[in-house]
Structure 1
Amino acid sequence: MRLTTRHPMIAAILLGALAATGFAPLGWWPLSLVAVAGLMALAERVKRAGGAFLLGWCFGLGHFTVGNNWIAHAFTYQDAMPHWLGYGAVVALALYLAVYPGLAVLGLYALRKRFPRLLVPDMFAALWIVSEYGRATIFTGFAWDPLGMIWLDTGVDQASRWIGTYGLSGLAVLAAGALLSIARGRWRPVMPLVVILGALATFGHLSLREPEHPTTIAVTIVQPNINQNEKYDQGLEETNFTKLAQLTGAPRPGQPRLIFWPEAAVPAWLDVEPEWRARLSDLLGPQDLLMLGGVKPYFREERKGAVTERTLVGAANSAWVLTADGQIAARYDKAHLVPYGEYLPMRGLLEPLGLSRLVPGDADFWPGPGPRSLPLPVGGEKRPYMGVQICYEMIFSGQVVGGPVRPAFLYNPSNDAWFGAWGPPQHLAQARMRSIEEAMPVIRSTPTGISALIDGRGRLIASIPHHQAGAINALLPRGLPPTLFARFGNILPMIVAALLALTAILLARPHRAR
C-alpha cells in the first residue's frame, strides 16, 4: 500500500510488468486482470492531467518492456549493429507504445472531471479498446499482444467471433473492474458481468467439443529447425536443403499434397533462377503443390556502352506456389512490412548513424497490394483458395482476409528463429486468435517453430515444438461459415466501445443531477 500511495508511478511500472505475464508463454491471465485492476485503482486517485497520462505511460512502459523482451534477441543476428542495442530497442519501443495506455488513462481522467460519478470500468474499457486499435494502425501499427489475448484457451476467446480481439480487451478491463469492486466488498453490482463471463466461457468450451470434419486435402507442414545464423550461411546451403527435402518426404501416388515450407525457406530468387525451380519440383509428385517463402527481387537496368548493368533496388518478401513441373502458379507479396526489420525508415538520416534493418541485405523490401485469395490448381474437392499472411502480418486483427473470394485457409509462413523464447509462442497464440475470428484454418510453417495446423476454432490439430525438426502430415481442416467478425471486422469492437462509453455516461448523469 505504501508503494501505491507514495510512489504510484513505480507501482504502475510494476503492475504493467505483471500484466505481461498473462500472455504466452506464461499464460498467467488472472495476474493480468489483477494488474489492470491496480491501474484503475491508481487512476482514480490521480489529481492532474499530466499525472494521469504519466501513470498510464508508466504502466505501458513496464508492460511492453517485459512483453516484448524477445525483440532484443533479434539483434544478436545482425552484425551491422552492436548486439547490446537490442535491449535499448526494447525499451525505446516501449517508450513509444506506452503512449497508448497513457492516453487511455488521460481520457478517463478528463471524463471523470466532467462526470464525477462516471462508471470507471465501463469507460476505461471503451478507452482501452480505442487505444489498442490506435496502436494497431497509427504509424504502420504494432498490434502485438492486445490485452484480449489473455483469454486464449479460457473459452472466452470464442467470443472474438462476434467482437474481435479488441472487444475481448474490453472484456478484460471489465473483468479487472469487477475484481476491484469485489476487493472493495461490492459484489452485487458486478454479478451480471460475472454471469456473462461465465456463460461465455461455458459456451466457448462447449463449442470446442464439436468434432472436426476434415477435408480430403492432404497437407505436409515442414519445420527444418534451421537457426537464423545457419539460414544464410552458404557453406550450409546443401545441408539445409537436404533437411527440407527429407522432412517433405516422398510423393504419395494417388494422393496429391499441399506442402508448406517456412518464410525465406531457400536462398533463391525463384522467378529468375529456373535451376532452383527444377530442383524443388523434383521433390513433388505429379499433382503436388509446394508453398514456400522467398524473395522477389527488383532491378534497375542501365545501359553502359555495350553492357547492361543491373542494380538491385528493392525486393518483396513473397510466398510462392510452385507446381510439379517447376512453374510458378501464384505469388503473394507481403504488404505489412516491419519497420527497422524489413526496411529502414528515414534511411538517409539513420544509415550514417550506423543503423541498419535486421533482415540481411542493403535494399529495402517493398510492400505488396494487401490480402487476397490465391486459387490452387489441385484436384479432388472443390478448387480451394488460399489466403496468405507472411509472418508479422498475422497479428493484425481484421486485416488478414481480403478480396472477393473467401479463402479455405490461411497460410502463415514465418521466421521466428530470431525471436527468443517468448516471441514464437506469442506469435502462435495470435495466429490461433485469427483462426477463431475468421473461423478459418491456419497453417504455420517456421524454420525453428512453432509450426502448427490450426482449425477454424483455434484448436491445435498438430504442432511441432520449438527448436525441433519435424513434419506434420494431416488432412486440411474444413473451414466454418464466416463469423460476424469476419463479415464486419473492427467496426464491431468500435461499436462495443461506443456502447460502453454511452452506458458509463448515462449512468453517471442522473447521479450528477441530484
Structure 2
Amino acid sequence: MIARHPYAISLFAGGLSATGFAPLNLWPLTILMLALWMAIVMQAKSRKAAFFTGWLFGLGHFVIGLNWIAKAFTFQAAMPEWLGYVAVVLLSLYLAVFPALAALVAFWVGKERPVTFVLALAGMWIITEWLRSWVFSGFIWNPLGVIALPLGQMASLSMFVGSYGLSALLFAGAGGLWLLFQKRWQAAFPLMAIFAGLSLIPHQVKQISPEQPLLTVVQPNIGQQDKWQAGYEQQNLAKLAELTLREDDRPRIIFWPEAAIPDYLETGYPARYYYGRPPEFVRQQLGGLMKPDDVLVLGALKLEFDEAGGRAVGARNSVFAMDAQHELLGRYDKSHLVPYGEYLPMRPLLSALGLSRLAPGDFDFWPGPGARSLDLGQFGKAGLQVCYEIIFSGQVVDPANRPDFIFNPSNDAWFGSWGPPQHLAQARLRAIEEGLPVIRSTPTGISAVIDANGTVRASVAMGQAGRIDSRLPEAKAPTLFARYGNILSLGLALILLLSAIAIRVRGR
C-alpha cells in the first residue's frame, strides 16, 4: 500500500499528525503518523522523491494545524472566509519546504540504516524548526515539541534543550515505534523505554507561597467585531471596569489584554488625535478603578510623528504600566510584528496592486527594540511579550535584566476555535524553558496564570467574561535554556547528525 501510494499517504499522514496539537491533543496519533512517514521516506526511490514526500507531509501538517488563520484573515482584511483558506494553503506550501529539507538530508545520510535515518531526521527537524523561527521574519507556530505537554515530565526537558530539542525527542519516540514494527528490537527498546518513562512520570504541582504578590487578570469577552466599532468605547470600558473593581484593599497587579483601550495614554500629541479624550482624563478614569497601591498593566497604542510633530507616520503596539496616581511607570513596544497584519511589506507596491486591505490603515506599526523588563516596584520586574511574540523560543526574556514573570497580553479574538488553545500551549512551553511564570490576558480567551513548570494554575475559558484572582507563582533560578538559549537545541542537533554520520561510516 505504501509503495503504491507514497505521496497520497504522506499528505494524509501529515494532516493527521497535526491532530496532536491543541485543541484535539491526539498525541498518540501524531507519534503513529510520524512513524508511518519515516517508513515512507525510507522507501523513497531517490532524493527527489524523499524531498517531495517530506513536502507533502508538511503540507498536510500545516494546512490542518493552521486552519485558524482563515478566520483571522476575515477579521483583518474584511475578506470572505474562503479566501482565508487560500491564504492557509499558500502559507503551508511555503512552510512544507522545511520538513522536506529534513526528509532529504535524513534520506541522504541514513537511507542504508534505519537507526542512522532516525537520528538524522531528529537532528534535521531541530534545525528546520530553528530556521522556521527566523527565515523571512519567522513563523514558528506549533513546533512539534508542544504535543509533549500532556506527556508527564517530558515537556520539562525543554528547560535543558528548548522546544526544538524537545521535538527531536518526540521523533526518537516515533522512530522507536517504527523500528519496533521493523522488528529491530535492540534499537527500538531503548528509544521506547526512554519515551515511555518520561511520559509516565507524573508532574508535581507545588503550592504558591502566600508571600507572593496578588494579581487580577481580566477577560472582558469583547469580540473582534465590537473592538474598534465607533460608539463601543464606553461599553467596552464598562466591561473591563466591572471585572476590575473590588472591595479588597490589598495591593495587586491588574492585567488587561492587548490593545485593551483605543485611547492614547501619552501626552504631547496634537489635540485632534485624542478625539476629545485627553490622556490626563483617560488615566484619571483608569486610576479610579484601582486601589491606592495597585499597578495596572494594559495594552494600548502609541503614535510616532514626523519631524515636524504634526502628522502621525507610524504606530506601536504597546503595553503600559500605570499606578493609581495616574503616573506611567514604563512602556514596552512589541518587537516581532505580524507581516500582513501589523505591517505591509513593500507597502507602495502592494498598495498599487490593490492589496492594502491586507494591513489596513494609512501607516504601519513600527517594531520595538526587543525583549525588555519593566520595574513594577513592590511587584517585581515584568517581562513583556505581546500576542504571538511568545511563540519565539529563546527570544522572550532580556537576559541582562531577568524579570520575575512574563506578561503576555494578547488578542486571540480573531484566532477561531483552534488558535487560542494552541497559543496557550506555546506560552506554557516558554514558562518551562525560562523557568518563569507567564500571565496571559486576552479579550475573549484563553486568559491564564501559568507557573514556571508550565502548569495552568487558573484560567478563563474561551468566549466567557471573567477574572482571575490569584497569587503570582514563583520564578525559578535561570534554567540551562535561559542561560544559553537555542545553542543547546542546535548543539543537540549537531550531536544527532554526527552520530548518524558516524554510524553510517562505521557500518561501511
TM-score range, shorter chain: over 0.9
Q: Percent identity?
A: 51
- Contact kept in structure 1, 2:37 and 2:57, CA below 8 Å: yes
Partner of 1:142: 139
Partner of 1:436: 432
Instruction: Give the counterpart of 1:256 among 251, 260, 282.
Output: 251
Matches within 5 A, 1:192-341: 192-203=190-201, 205-206=202-203, 208-213=204-209, 215-250=211-246, 252-253=248-249, 255-272=250-267, 273-300=279-306, 302=308, 310-341=310-341
Partner of 2:401: 405
Q: Alpha-carbon deviations, 1:153-195, whole Å to 9, x = none?
A: 2121111111111011101111111111112223332222222
- Contact kept in structure 1, 2:151 and 2:200, CA below 8 Å: no
User: Residue type matched to 1:385 in 2?
Assistant: K
Secondary structure of the equivalent of 1:43?
helix
Instruction: Give the counterpart of 1:417 among 395, 409, 413.
Output: 413
- Quick one: distance in 1 between partners of 2:312 and 2:337? 19
For normalisation by structure 2, the TM-score amounts to 0.94
- Quick one: distance in 2 between partners of 1:30 and 1:79? 37
State the shift of 1:26 in Å: 0.4
Partner of 2:477: 481
Partner of 1:190: 188
Secondary structure of the equivalent of 1:477?
coil
User: Residue type matched to 1:137 in 2?
Assistant: W
Partner of 1:306: none
Identify if the C-alpha distance between structure 1 residues 467 and 48 changes in structure 2 by more than 3 Å, giving closer, same or farther: same
Q: Alpha-carbon deviations, 1:382-413, whole Å to 9, x = none?
A: x5111000001000111111142211100000
State the shift of 1:215 in Å: 3.9
Q: Alpha-carbon deviations, 1:78-121, whole Å to 9, x = none?
A: 455444321111001001100100111111222246x6676111
State the shift of 1:357 in Å: 5.8
Secondary structure of the equivalent of 1:362?
coil
- Contact kept in structure 1, 2:75 and 2:414, CA below 8 Å: yes
**Structure 1 residues 365-374 or 81-90, which shifts more?**
81-90
**Structure 1 residues 115-124 or 283-292, which shifts more?**
115-124
- Quick one: distance in 2 between partners of 1:252 and 1:84? 49
Instruction: Give the counterpart of 1:130 among 116, 127, 131.
Output: 127
**Structure 1 residues 137-146 or 266-275, which shifts more?**
266-275
- Quick one: distance in 1 between partners of 2:473 and 2:360? 36
Gaps of 5+ in 1: 303-308
State the shift of 1:34 in Å: 1.1
Partner of 1:305: none
Gaps of 5+ in 2: 268-278
Identify if the C-alpha distance between structure 1 residues 74 and 358 changes in structure 2 by more than 3 Å, giving closer, same or farther: farther
User: Residue type matched to 2:376 in 1?
Assistant: L
Identify if the C-alpha distance between structure 1 residues 117 and 159 changes in structure 2 by more than 3 Å, giving closer, same or farther: closer
For normalisation by structure 1, the TM-score amounts to 0.93
Secondary structure of the equivalent of 1:361?
coil
How many residues matched? Answer: 496
State the shift of 1:209 in Å: 3.9
Secondary structure of the equivalent of 2:212?
strand
- Quick one: distance in 2 between partners of 1:45 and 1:109? 9
User: Residue type matched to 2:300 in 1?
Assistant: G
- Quick one: distance in 2 between partners of 1:284 and 1:340? 37
Secondary structure of the equivalent of 1:17?
helix
Secondary structure of the equivalent of 1:64?
helix
Identify if the C-alpha distance between structure 1 residues 215 and 482 changes in structure 2 by more than 3 Å, giving closer, same or farther: farther
- Quick one: distance in 2 between partners of 1:357 and 1:190? 53
- Contact kept in structure 2, 1:342 and 1:358, CA below 8 Å: no
User: Residue type matched to 1:154 in 2?
Assistant: L
- Contact kept in structure 2, 1:22 and 1:32, CA below 8 Å: yes
Partner of 1:53: 51
**Structure 1 residues 309-318 or 325-334, which shifts more?**
309-318
State the shift of 1:59 in Å: 0.7
- Quick one: distance in 1 between partners of 2:483 and 2:93? 35
